[in-house]
Structure 1
Amino acid sequence: MSNNQSNQSLAFCFSGSSPISNKAVNHTVASAYFSAVFSALGLSSNLFALVVLVKAFHQTKSRSRSSFLLFLCGLVVTDFMGLLVTGTIVVSFHVTHFDWMLLDPNCHFCNFMGMSMVFYGLCPLLLGATMAVERFVGINWPFARSANISKSRACYMVFGVWVSAGFISLLPLLGLGSYHIQVPGSWCFLNISHMPLDMAFCLIFSLVGLLSLAVSFVLNTVSVVTLLRVCCGQDSSRRRRDYELEMMVQLILIMVIASICWCPLLVFIAQTVFSEGKLNVPRLLLGIRFATWNQILDPWVYILFRRSVLKRVYPRMDWSRGSIASLYPSFRKLTRSSLGGTSRLGETKLDGQISQETKQEDEDPFPEQNAPAHS
């Protein structure tokens, strides 16, 4: 009776994988150093980026920038925890060569890692789409946004992304799909097969990720076009470049990195479940390695593409501070002509918001004079 139960418990997380031989383990022993260095680099980068963001958050007075920094902090924390959880398991396997079937006969540990892979994989993509929406609203309807988006609401939105990704990662435990151990035996991931339930879960994971990237691309493109129109319009000589440009540069780079790192894996999963061929293990491993680079490259966007760094790289550019509200004389004319019936009270409130935002100066957490000369 116990043997039957053991076979049944092993079936759902080991049946889709070929047995992990000692030869495979020995072949990947060199990966212990690579995985350890890879994880250490990612963890230290995210930790340093978190320090940068926390200092910037405490010193900023702009409401729009505070909300954006909260989203970035959520992304950094997610990347850090993802590397910590998955990296610890992978490095432990390469160092100890533990037997999954003996260590985890009921597949609880495998399910945990599979859930972690899905959760920490979807969170950056969903957060990138959420930040794209936030910037789109902030640039195209800044005054409506300033009345509706607060720091607490930004925190709720980050928490909502975590809950959504967590719910998707729990679907295999609810009967939709399953998590299986993957070659070379150091990790668990969703079972990419042609079984209806596994196929449905694979498509959910792939399509949610691709849809997030598509939303980010469309909204960021519109936001960039809007900023270019404002900065290069008739009143461009009187307008001030500010942290809105900094935030858009960071967000565009986050989107580009996520697209390059995740599209190969997401497209590969969708193609595999729709085709009748066998799983291409080398392509799966290559896609996973590409996706993991996202967690390492993301923090360097916040570290390198700050105003203090950009001012040193491009000293001729005008990096004066201010709010995007100061860029809006033509937008206000357009608003008056399109809405016509705008009340004087509304215009007074609008001008008050403009002057208040323009007067607020954001102090960079790492000013130029404090930067080391050799950096």
Structure 2
Amino acid sequence: MWPNGSSPGPCFRPMNITLQERRLIASPWFAASFCVLGLGSNLLALSVLARAPSPRSSFLTLLCGLVLTDFLGLLVTGAIVASQHAALLVWQAADPGCRLCRFMGVAMVFFGLCPLLLGAAMASERYVGITRPFWRPSATWRRAWATVGLVWLAALALGLLPLLGLGRYTVQYPGSWCFLTLGARRGDAAFGLLFALLGSVSVGLSFLLNTVSVVTLCRVYHDREAGRQRPRDGEVEMMVQLVGIMVVATVCWMPLLVFIAQTVLRTPPVMSPSGQLLRATEHQLLIYLRVATWNQILDPWVYILFRRSVLRRLHPRLSSRFQALSLHPPPAEATLNGP
């Protein structure tokens, strides 16, 4: 239904929502609270990263890029969603030309793909560092920031495709956000599949590389001769954090990515010729999107909580376990100091 009977712009579709429902769910407090929680979590993680013993290491640099991306994503998209809730979800009144909708669509794709691509980049860095340590003698924090920049460029390039004619960004139920269109048009289906495929490949690559890295560390742990070459406690700690980030990304994003692929490929098409989706489909998309957004909130807590210093405070007996995982038994008088 269209407000006031006005003609819709290019980013507007008929929506299964009544004026009464719009007023019931238009409170901005939930969206604002969700955004503040995420921003606070990421700011806390950035402050902890700034005090890390080796802030310029490749892994911590990539992790800093991930947390910074999550922070900016919540700031940009959260501000738009909260403002639209405050405007009673009448997007057409605030953005008749669809410029804000296109901007938010690009932001949703960009900040959605970046964590998945950065997770794959971090998994690649740890894979090379653990299995081929002599292959990367020149790995520096500058190269790591260059990798973050390349990830940002790749995600931005994909996000701009609908502005160049491949796919469309449209206002989604309940009228507070814009995203790619789950339609049967060739461009909409191609862009939806491209987004879902790239995200799924990133998650799959992270899983594969992290599995190999973990298996390699376990083998080194049982190889005492190799274990005496250098301490491995820092590598174990980084792998625990990276596996946690991978699990969070998989749980949060895979339902949405699978749903997008299934919807655009479904026969007969879920979207009507007028652009209207079934009410159940709109609700599912909103739920999966909210689950995916939790990725930006949980990422920083994986790093904050899964550090040796925090784990020892929660459970002092873990100190001896980390000493065993170091694969390089320290002198009896030495103590382990976690970051």
Q: TM range, normalised to the smaller chain?
A: 0.7 to 0.9
CA contact (8 A) 2:248 2:295 kept: yes
Aligned to 1:203: 193
Q: How far, CA to CA, are the matches of 2:244 and 2:322 in structure 1?
A: 21
Structure-2 change in CA distance of 1:283 and 1:99 (3 Å)? closer
**Cα deviation code 1:157-188 (max 9, x no counterpart):** 00000000000000000100010000100111
CA contact (8 A) 2:66 2:118 kept: yes
CA contact (8 A) 2:9 2:96 kept: no
Q: How far, CA to CA, are the matches of 1:193 and 1:148 in structure 2?
A: 47
Say whether 1:283 aligns with 2:284: yes
Runs (5+) with no aligned partner, structure 2: 1-5, 271-276, 330-334
Say whether 1:25 aligns with 2:22: yes
Aligned to 1:92: 83
Say whether 1:50 aligns with 2:46: yes
Deviates more, 1:235-244 or 1:185-194: 235-244
Aligned to 2:177: 187
What SS is found at the alignment partner of 1:13? coil
CA contact (8 A) 2:38 2:297 kept: yes
What SS is found at the alignment partner of 2:179? strand
Aligned to 2:312: 311
- Within a 5 Å distance, the mapping from 1:352-363 to structure 2 comes to none
Structure-2 change in CA distance of 1:135 and 1:237 (3 Å)? closer
Structure-2 change in CA distance of 1:165 and 1:68 (3 Å)? same
Say whether 1:13 aligns with 2:11: yes
Q: How far, CA to CA, are the matches of 2:140 and 2:148 in structure 1?
A: 12
Say whether 1:227 aligns with 2:217: yes
Shift of 1:236: 7.5
> TM-score scaled by structure 1?
0.79
Say whether 1:81 aligns with 2:72: yes
**Cα deviation code 1:8-53 (max 9, x no counterpart):** xx44201x342754223212134x2221221111100000000111
What SS is found at the alignment partner of 1:315? helix
What is the count of residue pairs matched by the alignment?
Answer: 315
CA contact (8 A) 1:20 1:185 kept: no
What SS is found at the alignment partner of 2:321? coil
Deviates more, 1:182-191 or 1:313-322: 313-322
Aligned to 2:138: 148
Shift of 1:240: 3.8
Shift of 1:80: 0.4
Q: How far, CA to CA, are the matches of 2:18 and 2:77 in structure 1?
A: 22
- Within a 5 Å distance, the mapping from 1:1-375 to structure 2 comes to 10-14=8-12, 16-18=13-15, 21-30=18-27, 32-56=28-52, 59-60=53-54, 66-97=57-88, 99-145=90-136, 147-235=137-225, 238=228, 240-276=231-267, 277-278=269-270, 279=277, 280-312=281-313, 313=315, 314-319=318-323, 364-365=338-339
> TM-score scaled by structure 2?
0.87
| One-letter amino acid matched to 1:38 | F
Q: How far, CA to CA, are the matches of 1:235 and 1:50 in structure 2?
A: 38
Shift of 1:91: 1.1
CA contact (8 A) 2:173 2:283 kept: no
Deviates more, 1:268-277 or 1:196-205: 268-277
CA contact (8 A) 2:236 2:325 kept: no
Q: How far, CA to CA, are the matches of 1:233 and 1:321 in structure 2?
A: 12
| One-letter amino acid matched to 1:189 | F
Structure-2 change in CA distance of 1:89 and 1:230 (3 Å)? same
Q: How far, CA to CA, are the matches of 2:167 and 2:134 in structure 1?
A: 44
Structure-2 change in CA distance of 1:288 and 1:48 (3 Å)? same
